[in-house]
A and B are shown apart, each in its own frame.
Chain A
Amino acid sequence: MSKTIVATTSLAGCFGCHMSFLDIDEKILDLIELVEFNKSPIDDIKNFTKMCDIGLVEGGCCNDENVHVLKDFRAHCKILVSVGECAIMGGLPALRNTVPLQECLEEAYLNGPSVAGNNESGIIPNDPELPVILNKVYPCHEVVRMDYHLPGCPPRAELIWDALYALVTGDPLKLPYEVVKFD
């Protein structure tokens, strides 16, 4: 039987969810038996080379590049999972959502105590290479359809493992009460 193909990415995240994923320790040996990675920082494949079964997305969308990557994931993955708080709710980056974007950028580059007087040309970074910042940080499901949400900041290694294992094998995911009593 061919292996399940998995892709992962970190959008507006801190890579903490990926690090947590690596915390499965020796199970990583089971993991490579279980799945094959495609586009992912884990194997450094930059672009999709084939259709994937599962896409794990860390982080929400704070710029246009995030949106393109996320849409690419949606186009190439049968199942898409929001992994962690930022993907699900926007997380820490979304703190800026309460401040209008213009004010936010001006504070960061023109008026903030650490920049005031040091940015004589008054430029807000605008190199064409730089992604364009979105008006607010969007959780993934507000941009494309997401199939599952895996909460946590980051989700524990075992939870990511159990969820992935359940998706690959089709077995139901065991969710004891301690795991779901978030409120």
Chain B
Amino acid sequence: MNKAIDAIIKKYHQDRTRLMDILIDTQDAFGFIHESAADQIAETLDISRVDLEQTISFYHFFSQKSRGKYTVYLNDSAVAHMHGRKEVAKAFEKEAGCKFGGVTDDGLIGLFNTSCIGMNDQEPAAIVNGTVFTRLTPFRVKEIIKDIRDGVQVEDMFRASYGDGNNSLELIKAVVNNNIMKKGPVLSSDYTSGEAIKKIITQGPNDVIEEVKTSNIRGRGGAGFPTGLKWDFCRKARGEKKYVFCNADEGEPGTFKDRVIMTERPRLLFEGMAVAAYAIGAEEGILYLRYEYKYLQRFLESILEEMRYNNLLGKNIGGKKGFNFDIRIQFGAGAYVCGEESALIESAEGKRGEPRDRPPFPVEKGYLEQPTIVNNVETLCSVVKVIINGGEWYKKFGTRESTGTKLLSVSGDCRYPGVYEVEWGFSITDILEMVGAEHVQAVQVGGPSGSCIGPNEFERILGYEDLATGGSMIIINNRRDILKDIVLNFTDFFIEESCGSCTPCRTLPVLMKDKLVKIIQNKGVMQDLMDIERWSGIMKANRCGLGHTALNPILSTLKNFRHLYLDKIQKEIEFDTGFRLEEAVKIGKLVTNRN
């Protein structure tokens, strides 16, 4: 029996549903989850060892073997590659003396790839023992590895100044930059904490929901479900308790706006959760925060503490008798699919983050089987402004179908990457001009799960009626090889991030990747393109949104950049498996010295 682990389990009241916290603390304390630790946790929580292992193995940041005293997670996103990730990775391998996916012989340094960590506007970026390093160069890598060998703590490794805004606060101290390029109602500094709460406590919950409905605001995570309607469903649903979740998992590659909101406007976000709680009748709220943003933990917790002190959270909020609500932060441990609301809830309950079958929807049966709303960070922030200024005021922004503003996370080939809060209804051309992008070949709207569009569609507008987006916008100029640099990377991402529950999502992206590689190697034929299109229909059978969109990188470019594929395939023959004997025997001949 290890006392430290016992203390961790006790800290979470031996509660099985807090397994994520227990595992995170164990991983943080020991660098990995040792077999004996797993035994102890399983036994104390009275769950089977297999049950525990399936949860551990599901998340990228949990491991059962040591990942080194210093663990480097280098972002593997397409945009990181655009900004020289390859050289940085090489430098890490050379300086550390081990390959990615491994640990140095002395157990000091472990190098690992990881999916987008939400720093696309300052790539290449890595997380070393929980601390974020941005804009890495081979030289900077040399310094970091030297510091590691000299035994310097990661917090003390920064040579340059901290990032802008709150990033330099004592409680954050990160080199991360906000890069706020354009402000609107959400990011505006014209906000006094508690204003919305002061207003709602004079109204009934239904009035709040009506106001939100009037504003026509829709979910900002990407799916665009009307927020007022969601709250209404939840309010009317029957349950002993109700829960407010804020989805801050932000795993879509190229999205980082929630990070900026949480760094600069955390009070706005928490107030939004309190407003939602008042509307649906909840007393508990959970901010589900991706592990990549763990560096914000101390800061966010201090804000929660401050709000409790100011009676904006806790008992009888704002002096309103019976308005009780508090928030806790639940960390994930690296899994894109946990951005899907039902997977997020599963994860918060201490399980693998696998999406649930629906119905029932979370508004009926969510967290711990109780009615639950899950809203995006940006949605909850916008709602506060709706409450303060009124739904009619909010409708003045944007278009008829898409009211209000949207925070765009702009990255890739442009002069001014960063966060832009714009009204819905701008065209892609407008945005490109705003961000200083030239010679643009394509824009990936809405991240890998969205669509890749070319110049002939740049007049389309951002909005639920045309180009819906969760905010990720990756700009690709004409020096890039779209198939190799973008589509292949995105497809690898979906292969990595599939939870594996539904067969089409588990297998088809792998098969399609094989086809894509075959096409890139000039071995493809027309039949391959037809197969891709025909087979992809089965993706509808997947349970969640990730599964539905996992082939979008290929399908959307096959539709919008068909010529790139046609240029690569062999036209004179109808069939080719892509097999080449001379390639297949190469190693066999080499090893046995035969030529």
Question: A residues within 8 Å of B by Cβ?
Answer: 63-64, 67, 100-102, 105-106, 124-126, 128, 132-136, 138, 141-145, 183
A132 touches B577 (CB 8 A): no
Which parts of B409-454 form the interface with A (CB within 8 Å)?
Answer: none
B592 within 8 A of A: yes
Which parts of B541-595 form the interface with A (CB within 8 Å)?
Answer: 575, 577-579, 581, 583-594
B587 touches A102 (CB 8 A): yes
The list of the 9 closest CB pairs from A to B, nearest first, reads A126-B592, A133-B588, A134-B584, A132-B588, A132-B585, A143-B579, A101-B587, A135-B587, A102-B591
A143 contacts across to B, CB distance below 8 A: 577, 579
A101 contacts across to B, CB distance below 8 A: 587-588, 591
Q: A143-B579, A145-B575 are in contact. Are A138 and B584 (CB under 8 A)?
A: yes
Choose among B503, B575, B578, B585 the residue that contacts A64 (Cβ–Cβ < 8 A). Answer: B585
CB distance from A55 to the nearest CB of B (A): 16
What class of interface size applies to chain B in its complex with A?
Answer: 10 to 19
Q: Which residue of B lies closest to A125 (CB)?
A: B592
**Cβ-Cβ contact count across A and B, 8 Å cutoff:** 55
B503 contacts across to A, CB distance below 8 A: 183
Give complex CA distance A49, B587 in Å. 34
CB distance from B410 to the nearest CB of A (A): 41
B588 contacts across to A, CB distance below 8 A: 63-64, 101, 132-135
A64 contacts across to B, CB distance below 8 A: 581, 584-585, 588
A144 contacts across to B, CB distance below 8 A: 577, 579
Give complex CA distance A159, B503 in Å. 26
Give complex CA distance A142, B215 in Å. 56
Give complex CA distance A64, B587 in Å. 12
Q: Can you list 17 A-B contacts with CB-CB less than 8 angstroms, sorted by A residue number? A: A63-B588, A64-B584, A64-B588, A67-B584, A101-B587, A101-B591, A126-B593, A126-B594, A128-B594, A132-B589, A133-B585, A135-B583, A135-B585, A135-B587, A138-B579, A143-B577, A144-B579
CB distance from A89 to the nearest CB of B (A): 12
CB distance from B16 to the nearest CB of A (A): 31
Q: Which residue of B lies closest to A102 (CB)?
A: B591
Give complex CA distance A132, B588 in Å. 6
Q: Which residue of A lies closest to B586 (CB)?
A: A135
B594 touches A132 (CB 8 A): yes
A105 touches B585 (CB 8 A): no
B578 contacts across to A, CB distance below 8 A: 142
Give complex CA distance A135, B582 in Å. 10
A138 contacts across to B, CB distance below 8 A: 579, 584
B575 contacts across to A, CB distance below 8 A: 145
Give complex CA distance A77, B477 in Å. 50
B592 touches A134 (CB 8 A): no
CB distance from A133 to the nearest CB of B (A): 4
A124 touches B584 (CB 8 A): no
A67 touches B591 (CB 8 A): no
Q: Which residue of A lies closest to B503 (CB)?
A: A183
B577 touches A145 (CB 8 A): yes
B593 contacts across to A, CB distance below 8 A: 126
Choose among A126, A133, A142 the residue that contacts B577 (Cβ–Cβ < 8 A). Answer: A142
B583 contacts across to A, CB distance below 8 A: 135
A135 touches B584 (CB 8 A): yes
- Please indicate which of the listed interface residues A106, A133, A141 has the most CB atoms of chain B within 10 Å of its own CB: A133
Give complex CA distance A124, B339 in Å. 51
CB distance from B583 to the nearest CB of A (A): 8
A105 touches B577 (CB 8 A): no
CB distance from A96 to the nearest CB of B (A): 12
Q: Which residue of A lies closest to B589 (CB)?
A: A132
- Please indicate which of the listed interface residues B586, B587, B589 has the most CB atoms of chain A within 10 Å of its own CB: B587
B577 contacts across to A, CB distance below 8 A: 141-145
Choose among B579, B581, B586, B592 the residue that contacts A124 (Cβ–Cβ < 8 A). Answer: B592
B587 contacts across to A, CB distance below 8 A: 100-102, 135
A142 touches B579 (CB 8 A): yes
Give complex CA distance A105, B587 in Å. 11
CB distance from B595 to the nearest CB of A (A): 10
Q: Which residue of A lies closest to B576 (CB)?
A: A145
B591 contacts across to A, CB distance below 8 A: 101-102, 105-106, 124
Give complex CA distance A64, B503 in Å. 33
Give complex CA distance A134, B585 in Å. 5
A141 contacts across to B, CB distance below 8 A: 577
CB distance from B310 to the nearest CB of A (A): 57
CB distance from B64 to the nearest CB of A (A): 19
Give complex CA distance A27, B590 in Å. 48
Which parts of B483-535 form the interface with A (CB within 8 Å)?
Answer: 503
- Please indicate which of the listed interface residues B581, B583, B591 has the most CB atoms of chain A within 10 Å of its own CB: B591
- Please indicate which of the listed interface residues B503, B575, B578, B588 has the most CB atoms of chain A within 10 Å of its own CB: B588
Give complex CA distance A128, B577 in Å. 28
A135 contacts across to B, CB distance below 8 A: 583-588
Q: A124-B592, A132-B594 are in contact. List 16 more A-B contacts (CB 8 A).
A: A63-B588, A67-B581, A100-B587, A101-B587, A101-B588, A102-B587, A102-B590, A102-B591, A106-B591, A125-B592, A126-B593, A132-B585, A134-B588, A135-B583, A135-B586, A136-B584
CB distance from B530 to the nearest CB of A (A): 15
Q: Which residue of B lies closest to A141 (CB)?
A: B577
A136 contacts across to B, CB distance below 8 A: 584
